[in-house]
Amino acid sequence: MKIGFIGLGVMGAPMARHLAGAGHEIATTLNRSPLPQGLTAKVLSSPTEVAEVSEVVILMLPDTPDVERVLTAEAGVLAGLKPGTLVIDMSTISPIATRRFAEAVAEKGGSYLDAPVSGGQVGAENASLTIMVGGAETDHDRALPLFQIMGKNITLVGATGAGQICKLANQIIVALNIEAVSEALVFASKAGCDPARVRQALMGGFAASRVLEVHGERMIKRTFAPGFRLKLHQKDLTLALDSAKALGVSLPNTATAQELMSACDRDQDHSSLVKALEALACHQLG
């Protein structure tokens, strides 16, 4: 299949490599960075040219304005979209904007899926991503062989926008788990316990979680090189809070976690949220 893949960042590059490794032809356009190492792809000058040569166009971009620019700019995807082309947005963006983008693609005769992912850089590299899909079942079935190359847990959640809603729910849960682990380890450490041993003990009980396992270790070892940048997680929580406001839903603990992130280095891993709790406690783990 001829696939246009736009957004070859920390997540997008390994995803595109898996598709190319499975025999698909990849076309892309580059912004400032060179073609990622190990990826064989045709490099074109604009998203329009990518769309012109593609049966499927996949986007993996940081935020809503980036997706809007790539789709709707003068040299954007929509300008080169052929009838029958499937656009798959695997970014995490606004559900409201997602529905608008889907309508614009449909006006050009194309189809649209929102298919954000969870699993981080490790999941992208290991082709073990969780993929949450919104859109028509026929489009999901068409894309499924591609999703199966990039991920393991693939779910059609509902109509257009449902994938984004599901991803924001995921980000709420992950953020509050990180905040809870941060509170627990800071509390235990300031009380005089070894946080590493506390974490080890908790891993055998009902408090065990993937966040405690992976990010608890990051907090204790102070390894905050980004696997998923805190600023991107904060962006996702802002999207969740904006959507909740429109729905009349209160997300009090999500709002607290989002505010705590503002007290951290937003270019570090999201596990560095612990630093905000350490600052409030005047105590560093150790």
Q: Taken in order 34, 120, 97, 238, is the CA torsion positive or negative?
A: negative
Annotated catalytic residue 245: no
The answer to whether the beta carbons of residues 17 and 2 sit under 8 Å apart is no
Report the C-alpha gap between 117 and 114 in whole angstroms.
10
3-state SS class at 98: helix
Report the C-alpha gap between 278 and 284 in whole angstroms.
5
The strand pairing partners of 5, in sequence order, are 58
* Burial (CB count <10 Å: 0-12, 13-18, 19+), residue 64: buried
The answer to whether the beta carbons of residues 117 and 14 sit under 8 Å apart is no
Using alpha carbons, select from 99, 100, 86, 103 the residue that is nearest to residue 51.
Answer: 86
Report the C-alpha gap between 248 and 272 in whole angstroms.
31
Report the C-alpha gap between 31 and 52 in whole angstroms.
18
Longest dimension (CA), the chain: 65
Q: How many residues does the chain have?
A: 286
The answer to whether the beta carbons of residues 194 and 156 sit under 8 Å apart is no
3-state SS class at 264: coil
Active-site position among 108, 167, 221, 235: 167
- The structure tokens listed for 220 are 């204790």
Active site residues: 167
